């Protein structure tokens, strides 16, 4: 039996399951704003991605946030999220977004 001390979350970009600490939470607030949730406790619909610089770019490219949060994001909203993401990503363990056996190059 595996003992899981940390809740597991699934990355909306690569579908990898990681501990909550290794993931970034993006939340759609009841007001309809989309923002990074560093506390993990904000109200609203949440989605998780790997704490990896590439993860955000991939999410933007594939519209993973839109699908997961059922919301339309403007380029301005993406830019703001990306800024927030860039400011905090050093706090996260370096986890590469993608399946471990997947080649990193596109």
Nearer to Zn ion, 32 or 100 (CB): 100
CA distances in angstroms from 62 to 49, 52, 58, 66, 106, listed in the order given? 13, 16, 6, 9, 14
Nearest residue to 18 via CA among 102, 96, 105, 104: 96
Minimum CB separation of residue 26 from Zn ion in Å reads 12
CA distances in angstroms from 30 to 16, 42, 106, listed in the order given? 27, 10, 36
Q: With binding defined as CB under 5 A, does residue 50 bind Zn ion?
A: yes
Q: With binding defined as CB under 5 A, does residue 68 bind Zn ion?
A: no
Residue, CB closest to Zn ion:
11
Task: Select from 14, 26, 34, 81 the one that contacts Zn ion (CB under 5 A).
Answer: 14
Task: Select from 5, 10, 11, 40 the one that contacts Zn ion (CB under 5 A).
Answer: 11
Structure tokens at 48: 């998780």
- Binding stretches for Zn ion (CB under 5 A): 11, 13-14, 50, 55, 97
């Amino acid at each position: 039996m595996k003992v899981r001390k940390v809740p597991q979350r699934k990355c909306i970009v690569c579908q990898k399951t990681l501990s909550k600490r290794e993931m970034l939470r993006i939340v759609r607030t009841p007001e309809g704003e989309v923002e990074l949730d560093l506390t993990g406790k904000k109200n609203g619909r949440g989605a998780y991605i790997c704490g990896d610089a590439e993860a955000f770019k991939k999410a933007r490219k594939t519209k993973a946030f839109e699908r997961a949060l059922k919301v339309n994001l403007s380029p301005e909203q993406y830019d703001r999220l990306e800024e927030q993401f860039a400011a905090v990503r050093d706090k996260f363990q370096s986890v590469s977004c993608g399946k471990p056996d997947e080649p990193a190059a596109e």
